[in-house]
Amino acid sequence: VQLQASGGGLAQTGGSLRLSCATSGRAFSTFVMGWFRQSPGKEREFVAAISRNGASTYYGDSVKGRFTISRDNPKNTVYLQMNSLMLGDTAVYYCAADRKGLFGTSIEAVAAAYDYWGQGTLVTVSS
């Protein structure tokens, strides 16, 4: 399974960006998908996760109400719509896939629960 994240770039505070993560293989609809981010000198931080059918989502406290995760199973793609960007959102964003497919126990916020990772896409927010 390969994950390819894209859509990062430079945005101003208050602006928006949309990240995409295309996944290879036919098992995409069986994966819980997540987004994490990491800034220099900081630990990897949970951003958002979405259940296999897209009906349930879960967000980290720092992005709740500003970011929206969604997925398109026929296209094997998960998205992260980021609005009201803040300087603190600057980071490399990673998409990840959990083949166990469990959702709703908060395990989806744990990086170690994910089996596959994309290469990351850099988001830089400036004032």
pLDDT number for residue 28:
95
The residues, any chain, with a CB within 8 Å of residue 111's CB and separated by 6 or more, are: 36, 44, 46, 96
Among residues 120, 117, 127, the alpha carbon closest in space to that of 91 is found at: 120
User: How many Å apart are CA 114 and CA 95, to the nearest integer?
Assistant: 10
Helix (H/G/I), strand (E/B), else coil: 15: coil
pLDDT number for residue 33:
97
* pLDDT above 90: residue 25: no
* pLDDT above 90: residue 20: yes
With b meaning 16 or more CB within 10 Å and e meaning fewer, what string describes 53-89?
eeeebbbbeebeeebbbebeeeebbbbbebeebeeeb
Tokens standing for residue 1:
């399974």
Whether 125 and 87 have beta carbons less than 8 Å apart is answered as yes
User: How many Å apart are CA 24 and CA 70, to the nearest integer?
Assistant: 17
**Tens digit of pLDDT for each residue in 3-16?**
999 999 999 999 99
The residues, any chain, with a CB within 8 Å of residue 4's CB and separated by 6 or more, are: 21, 22, 23, 118, 119
**Tens digit of pLDDT for each residue in 59-113?**
999 999 999 999 999 999 999 999 999 999 999 999 999 998 888 878 899 999 9
- Considering all CA atoms of the chain, what is the largest pairwise distance in Å, rounded to the nearest integer? 41
pLDDT number for residue 26:
80
Of 103 and 126, the one with more pLDDT = 126
